[in-house]
Structure 1
Amino acid sequence: MATRTRRSQRRTEALSRERIVEAAVELLDAAGEGGLTFRALTERLATGPGAIYWHVANKSELLDAATDAVVAAALAIEPAESPDAPRGKIRAVALGLFDAIDEHPWLATQLATQLSRSPWGSVTPRIFESIGRQVGAVGVPEGSQFTATSALVHYILGAAGQNAANGRVLGPDVDRGDFLDAVSKAWEELDPDDYPFTRSVADQMREHDDREQFLAGIDLVLAGITALHLPNGQASAPPAT
């Protein structure tokens, strides 16, 4: 009996929580939240459910852990600009999350769920800390840092989530350039009296780059924060894209 217990413990130890979470991310990427079941997980890991339950209590905990692991990896990316420049770090954090949400189709929904359902969990504080420290380093007064950080976080997650949703709607068989060209032509044919602005930017929409446009939005938010909270709008110019 003691020998059987020791063998069971060794198998449980060999199957780490990290490996379980890694396999969960793989299942989520392949089949979405509906495809993440403990049965599928045991098959992928070639183990029994008891070994998994030793580390993870239920699917909700597993989803939280998978989300946290992906976010932690995204936030670990170092900026290409000077590591001492807070604006560069904010941009690096934003791009890390943008690319993670684009790569993992399930992530945007899980982030929205965690921000509203369990803001005390690990994911929300991790994101707020990464942005908030740099907001403080930019020079935003302490009493305004929560609002400024919230504005950046909401823009990052909202814009990144919408970009990822656009890609999923189009599907892998649709050429992005052809799609944007078709939309641009449709905009150009709108009634000039009702849609003068939309017609005027049709060419810009056709040629835009999603990541560059996303970063331009970060710079706009930072410019507004700087103008509102720093004396004479003092701040370094945004790094070149």
Structure 2
Amino acid sequence: MSPARRTESLSREVVVTAAIELLDEHGERGFTFKLLTERLRTGAGAIYWHVANKEELVRLCADRILGDALAAAGPEQDLRSLALAVYDALDRHSWAARHVIVLPSLPSALHLLDRIGTLLTGTPLPAERRFLVATAIFNYVVSVTAQDVVRVATVDTSAGRDALLAEYAKSWESLDAQTFPFLTGAAADLREHDDRDQFVAGLDLLLDGLRHQSGGGQPVQG
């Protein structure tokens, strides 16, 4: 017996919310309109009334994820808190990262870049450096998660992240120690590291560099 049809009205917001749930469960590759119609208990035509195709829907979902992160961070957050809010959102919804990484076209990505640039105007950083610094921070924040997603997507991930890192660490340990002294010594760190700690380390380097470029005047909040 087919599931009962939904009786409440269908809106774009409802469609996007259901799609995000399915994207989190199945990833972008596993997400289909068939799954979506089953989740919403409606026909494909009702969904196509609100979105043109899967590509548009996934972009809307990614925009929602990023927009919610910006809203949660609040307009008064400092650069470090803003960056961490975005990282955590993209880490929870990793499928969204690649849709944000390209030169900003999603409305929320534009808001993120604008928020970063606006926060920089409150520092002693020279005006002519703001574009370069703002885009560097933006690219770092959205690229780290996207890079992890691409790396994981290229291998068999059935065993999970820990098994993948263990495999990489084993390959580092097998390298010649004289040729690769750092990598062979860091194999254990690779196996055991926390991705968020790694992100924070890079972020702090960026913000420390920003403080230096600002001449050590008004501090960048960290």
Q: TM-score of the superposition, structure 1-length normalised?
A: 0.73
SS at match of 1:32: helix
SS at match of 1:29: helix
Decide whether the 8 Å contact of 1:21 with 1:66 is kept in 2: yes
- Identity of counterpart residues, as a percentage? 39
Task: Write the mapping of 1:56-95 to structure 2, written as runs, cut at 5 A.
Answer: 56-78=51-73, 89-95=78-84
The one-letter code matched in structure 2 to 1:214 is: F
Q: CA deviation at 1:130?
A: 2.8
The one-letter code matched in structure 1 to 2:219 is: S
> Cα deviations across residues 154-199 of structure 1 (Å, max 9, x unaligned)?
11122122234455657363472x6656654653443232112223
Alignment CA distance shift 1:235-1:36 (3 Å): same
Decide whether the 8 Å contact of 1:67 with 1:111 is kept in 2: yes
Q: Tell me the residue number matched to 2:48.
A: 53
Matched, 1:192 2:192: no
Q: Tell me the residue number matched to 2:157.
A: 171
What is the CA–CA distance in structure 2 between the aligned matches of 1:189 and 1:121, rounded to whole Å?
43
> Cα deviations across residues 83-117 of structure 1 (Å, max 9, x unaligned)?
96x6xx322222223222222232122223xx24x
The one-letter code matched in structure 1 to 2:54 is: K
Unaligned runs of 5+ in 2: 1-6
From the CA coordinates, give the structure whose radius of gyration is larger.
1
The one-letter code matched in structure 1 to 2:113 is: F
Q: CA deviation at 1:68?
A: 0.6
- Larger proportion of helix: 1
What is the CA–CA distance in structure 2 between the aligned matches of 1:37 and 1:183, rounded to whole Å?
32
Residue number among 30, 38, 48 corresponding to 1:43 in the alignment: 38
SS at match of 1:137: coil
Answer 1 or 2: higher relative contact order, Cα 8 Å, separation at least 6.
2
Q: Tell me the residue number matched to 2:13.
A: 18
Unaligned runs of 5+ in 1: 1-10
